[in-house]
Amino acid sequence: MNVLKQIDSNFDELIKELQILIQQPSVSAKNEGIEECAKLVEKILKKTGLKTEILRLKKGVAPIVYAEIKSKKNPKKTLMFYNHYDVQPAEPFELWEFPPFSGTKKGNKIFGRGSADDKGELITRIKAVDAWLKTTGDVPCNIKFLIEGEEETGSAHIEQYLKKYQKKFSCDGVIWEFGYVDAKNRPIVGLGMKGLLFVELSVQESIRDAHSSLAVLIKNPAWRLIEVIHSLRDTNGKILIKDWYKDVQPLSKNDLNLIKNEPFEIDSFKKEFGINSFVGNKKGIDVKKALVADPTCNIAGFYSGYTGEGAKTVLPSKALVKIDFRLVPKMDPKKQIMRLKSHLKRNGFSDVKVKVFHGEAAARTNSSHPFVSDVKDAAQQVFGKYVLNVSNAGTGPMFPFVHILKAPCISVGSTYMFSRIHSPNEFARVDLLRKTTKTIALVIENFSKS
């Protein structure tokens, strides 16, 4: 196909523009470079030939970069690409082999924060559209880009954006912002994402830290929080909060068949993370079922007292723990918060303060939807193989897209599953960027015909 040849002949430009994107910091957690990166992304889209806009809600909220191009051949069908231009903080800097915002290319890898998550993925979408325009002067169907700047901090305003610009964002299908490639170079076609509830629990016992000899008289808030944490989950990972699983939608027979047939390299996974066993000593299909459909209760961080070098005999005045709960379909974050608060009260932990950072519901696309075949066929043609995944174990704001736009969402992309996203030395694989750009180009064509 001419469009695939065009991607090959223009591939050096893809690498160059990805490096430029990486070199522009855009850390949403610190509001670093957000405006600058939004304008840079808009510039790239405009140069490609799309009509662009910077959309805003209010001061202090990261803007959305929006772009669209109408098809002359098929103006009644619209495919949207959802991506994000913000990245995680790069700290600790000293652990990076190359500067985190350098976009250094070494062999088959491009290093830098955002190289995979999500600037690498974004550039594959842009260059797939560019290839169609350069080859045919048109696109097979209408194309829209919605690129946000708060994904790495929980997409706090995406629902407001979707509601405010619902008509502008209307579409028939959404290609999600990422897509993993496994250890055997098989693209994982993802049909859903888990939800998330992120909270902070804290206890203030005294007005200031004290000498640890006074532990016979002054209660230690760290011990109090340890009691709380112990009440939330057992050693096998089961969450002990009353009615926590009440609304969970069970896996269908079709889902179970897909999970059963989905390959998962247990040994490769264990080797990558240097572990010997899984939570609850899971084995076989239970490992794969857990990734798709098990809610979680995870301690993301615990802080109290002195944590520096050497010894300091201190009795802390306060303690806090940050916990993230992964949710599955039909679990409402607001309901789950009420269940958590009721659990604390019922078990005598009324002194524990609860701060809610954000909550997102889970979403899944039915595996029988025609859009699924459009993506599978494209992945098969380029990679020669693929894995169909019922739901990713991670979280993104997929639910509001499905709920507000009424559009199915599917992920497919270039992110090697061990590419160190959110960690030092994040990288994108050059070969996967090339293959994914071709896959996206074919997805556009398949979608226009289905």
pLDDT above 70 covers a percentage of the chain that reads 100
The CATH fold of domain 2-191+365-449:
Aminopeptidase (3.40.630)
Model confidence at 324: pLDDT above 90? yes
Model confidence at 272: pLDDT above 90? no
Model confidence at 183: pLDDT above 90? no
The interaxial angle of helices 11-23 and 2-9, nearest 10 deg, is 50
What pLDDT, on a 0 to 100 scale, did the predictor assign at position 28? 97
Q: What is the mean pLDDT of residues 125-151?
A: 98
Q: Is the link from the previous residue into 118 a cis peptide, with omega within 30 of 0?
A: yes
d(CA 81, CA 48): 15
What pLDDT, on a 0 to 100 scale, did the predictor assign at position 22? 98
Model confidence at 279: pLDDT above 90? yes
For residue 391, with 0-12 CB atoms within 10 Å meaning exposed, 13-18 middle and 19 or more buried, which class applies? buried
- Indicate the pLDDT class of residue 265, thresholds 50, 70 and 90: confident
Count the Cβ atoms, other than its own, within 10 Å of residue 112: 30
Copy the structure tokens of residue 89.
């903080």
149-171 residues labelled b (16+ CB within 10 A) or e (exposed)? bbbbbbbbbbbebbeebeeebeb
Query: Over 337-364, what HEC string results?
Result: HHHHHHHHHHCCCCCCEEEEEEEECCEE
What pLDDT, on a 0 to 100 scale, did the predictor assign at position 293? 95
What pLDDT, on a 0 to 100 scale, did the predictor assign at position 247? 97
373-419 pLDDT per residue, tens: 999 999 999 999 999 999 999 898 999 999 999 999 999 999 999 99
Copy the structure tokens of residue 237.
């990972």
Mind giving me the DSSP string for 21-39? HHHS--BGGGTBSHHHHHH
CATH 3.90.580.10 fits 195-358, yes or no: no
- Indicate the pLDDT class of residue 295, thresholds 50, 70 and 90: very high
More confident: 358 or 194: 194
Copy the structure tokens of residue 104.
């250094």
pTM for this prediction = 0.88
Q: Which long-range contacts (CB under 8 A, 24 or more apart) does 53-56 make?
A: 55/161, 55/165
Distance from the first to the final alpha carbon of the chain: 19
What pLDDT, on a 0 to 100 scale, did the predictor assign at position 373? 97
> Can you tell me whether residue 43 is helix, strand or coil?
helix
d(CA 162, CA 378): 28
Mind giving me the DSSP string for 77-88? -EEEEEEE--B-
Helices (H), 214-363: 221-232, 253-261, 266-273, 285-293, 333-346
What pLDDT, on a 0 to 100 scale, did the predictor assign at position 264? 87
What pLDDT, on a 0 to 100 scale, did the predictor assign at position 308? 94
* Mean pLDDT score across all residues of the chain: 96
- Would you say the C-alpha torsion 365, 367, 369, 375 has a positive or negative sign? positive
- Bridge partners of 388, per DSSP, are 189
What pLDDT, on a 0 to 100 scale, did the predictor assign at position 1? 81
Q: What is the mean pLDDT of residues 123-137?
A: 98
- Indicate the pLDDT class of residue 147, thresholds 50, 70 and 90: very high
What pLDDT, on a 0 to 100 scale, did the predictor assign at position 25? 98
Q: How far is CA 297 from CA 241, 322, 323, 341, in A?
A: 10, 11, 7, 15
Model confidence at 131: pLDDT above 90? yes
The amino acid present at 394, given as its one-letter code, is: G
- Indicate the pLDDT class of residue 268, thresholds 50, 70 and 90: confident
Residues in the chain: 450
Domain boundaries of the chain, sorted by first residue: 2-191+365-449, 195-358
Let me know: does 375 contact 442? Beta carbons within 8 Å: no
